[in-house]
Structure 1
Amino acid sequence: MADERPNLAIIGGSGVYDPSLFDNVKAVKVGTPYGAPSGPIDVGDFMGVRMAFLPRHGKGHTLPPHMVPYRANIWALKSLGVERIISPCAVGSLQMKYRPGTIMLPDQFIDFTKGRRYTFHDGGKTVHVSSADPFCPELRKLIFDAGKRLGAPIFGKGTYITIEGPRFSTRAESRMFREFADIIGMTLNPEIQLAIEQEMCYASIAQITDYDVWAERPVTQEEVFSTLQKNLKRTQELLKAVVPLVPAARGKCRCGESLKNAEV
């Protein structure tokens, strides 16, 4: 039996979560100072590791990206004992070389959101955490190495730009974003920033479903869905390969020191 408190969590969609792979599952409702999280958090044993799963968009995908309770989600996971987060997500490609059906592990982000709650520190004290290298290098390396062993089409670094949503970009916006970023999505920020403030490790498995509208290449919903299903299967295999390799104790990253000297 794994430890009762989960050290690792997956934040993702229902497609990533396969209940048949979990043992001893229980749904945990967590109250937070920031309201309710997206839904109950499933805690169970996955590949011998006690871990948590949180559906970012809620049961039945009812929460659009700009309405996800990011602060409540991160707070709830931290209160359960989670120190590491792996976050699968669907993204569009801003560069021709990053083809639909491939996976990227971003190492940088650009936050282009406009109206979200970005911090736990709105008053009482001022905290400035570093975002120079926002993703956990240890988690990223473990995932990348596992992907290579599986023969998955995976890229080990890149820049993710987060837009507010729920609308998609105009062609002009998409062309502008191409100058700065490699992939585009709606959910990374402020999720990762809040995880940093809680001194948690964070890695994103970005599943590329299509080219963004800069490409002016018509794409059907059927094509996007087909690519997404293939990516979900790859991501499930990737998680099965990497989760048992995540060490119980952190030591090869500095994610647990994010608040050191951050308070003014």
Structure 2
Amino acid sequence: MKTIAVIGGTGMNQWPGLVIESSEEVRTPYGLATGPVVRGHINGHPVLFLARHGEGHKIPPHKINYRANLWALKNAGAQQVLAIAAVGAIAEWFAPGEIALPRDLIDYTWGREHTYHDGVPGTELHHIEFTYPYTPSLRQTLFEAAGAADVVVSGAGTMAITQGPRLETPAEIQRLKLDGCDMVGMTGMPEAALAAELGLEYACIAVSVNWAAGIGTGGIHDEIRESIERGMLKVQGTLVRFLAAAG
């Protein structure tokens, strides 16, 4: 059985049902991870957990120490990383409260520490292949786990990752739509690329919590409050089945 780590985002800063065995703040060569690495189990199945935005959900997307987080999980023995992300929906098929498993991404972020291969003396330069930012076999297992949990996966699609912490303008959303994006979040990069650099299998469960700006008709924050709990229940059900299938 491979060691599984879950990175929780907005709406999953804690994992209901996780029986905690230990919780350790980890200082890495890249600084302190934004949340403690938690060891625990769900229904007897071991798992690692890290809250991406830190305890209390206080760290904005552009200030997250992604390098420290992925390094800390790798150092704790993680081989597979499941990233949970609350996103805005661009595609018509991705209604608030639903989940999707993105297959590709476009990175619109800037100024983030985005690689371990940054010219530090004594390190080698590696140009990782990034044809599959989300590991296909891991995505397939998640699809099967969702089915076993009677959770409908709305689709796959392409994730746009923007800088944040502000939400996007309607014109920006239209640009993302023209670029081929189906959903928009703020934390998928450099997280996915760093996982690839470390040789970790990586997949994302995206939770639609609102229609992106200019697409919906109501207030975005009201929609988020109404949708996030429904979506996270589907995530938790999928994760339980995933862990059970993993052994």
Q: Give the TM interval when normalised to the shorter protein.
A: over 0.9
Distance change (3 Å), C-alpha of 1:103 and 1:20 = closer
Question: Equivalent of 1:53, from 49, 53, 58?
Answer: 49
| Alignment match, 1:219 | 219
Matched residue pairs, number?
A: 242
Cα distance between partner residues in 2 of 1:14 and 1:157:
20
* Equivalent in the alignment of 1:72: 68
- Match for 1:198: what amino acid? L
CA distance in structure 1 between the aligned counterparts of 2:100 and 2:161, rounded to whole angstroms:
15
CA shift at 1:77, angstroms? 0.6
- For residue 125 of structure 1, give the secondary structure of its aligned residue in structure 2: coil
Structure 1 distance, partners of 2:177, 2:10, is 30
Corresponding residue of 2:36: 40
Report what 2:231 is aligned to: 231
Aligned residue for 2:83?
87
- Cα distance change, pair 99–109 in 1 and its aligned pair in 2 (3 A): same
CA distance in 2, matches of 1:216, 1:143: 29
d(CA) in 2 for partners of 1:243, 1:192: 21
Distance 2:154 2:134 in 1: 15
Q: Name the amino acid aligned to 1:209.
A: V
AA aligned to 1:208 is S
The equivalent position to 1:106 in structure 2, one of 76, 90, 102, is 102
- Aligned partner of residue 27 in structure 2, secondary structure: coil
Q: CA deviation at 1:230?
A: 0.8
Residue 61 of structure 1 deviates from its aligned partner by 0.6
Q: Which residue in the other structure is 2:4 paired with?
A: 8
Shift of the alpha carbon at 1:211? Answer: 0.9
Q: Equivalent residue for 1:129?
A: 128
Partner of 1:144: 143
1:21 aligns with 2:22: no
Q: d(CA) in 1 for partners of 2:149 and 2:16? A: 22
Q: Name the structure 2 match of 1:244.
A: 244
TM-score normalized with structure 1 length: 0.86
Shift of 1:220: 4.9
Structure 2: which amino acid aligns with 1:45? Answer: H
Evaluate the alpha carbon distance shift between residue 142 and residue 156 of structure 1 in structure 2; reply closer, same or farther with a 3 A threshold: farther
Report the Cα distance in structure 2 between the residues aligned to 1:134 and 1:14, rounded to whole angstroms.
Answer: 21
CA offset digits 1:86-141 (Å, max 9, x no partner): 11110011112211111110010100101111100111422100111111112111
Secondary structure at 1:154's aligned position in 2?
Answer: coil
Secondary structure of the 2:214 match is: helix
Distance 2:10 2:185 in 1: 18
Counterpart for residue 111 of structure 2 = 115
Q: Which amino acid aligns with 1:224?
A: I
1:164 offset after TM fit, Å? Answer: 0.6
Question: Any stretches of 5+ residues in structure 1 without a counterpart?
Answer: 248-264
Q: 1:15-39 deviations in whole A, cap 9, x for unaligned? A: 433354325x111222201100012
Among the aligned pairs, what percent are the same residue? Answer: 35
Alpha-carbon distance in structure 1 between the residues aligned to 2:10 and 2:55: 8
In the alignment, the residues of structure 2 paired with residue 216 and residue 241 of structure 1 have an alpha-carbon distance, to the nearest angstrom, of 32
Partner SS for 1:166: coil
Deviations 1:36-61 (A, max 9, x none): 00121111122332221100000001
Q: Does 1:182 align with 2:182?
A: yes
SS at match of 1:155: coil
Task: State whether residues 74 and 191 of structure 1, in contact with CA within 8 Å, keep that contact through their aligned partners in structure 2.
Answer: yes
CA distance in structure 2 between the partners assigned to 1:80 and 1:21 by the alignment? 18
Q: What is the alpha-carbon distance in structure 2 between the residues aligned to residue 226 and residue 211 of structure 1?
A: 12
- TM-score, L = length of structure 2: 0.92
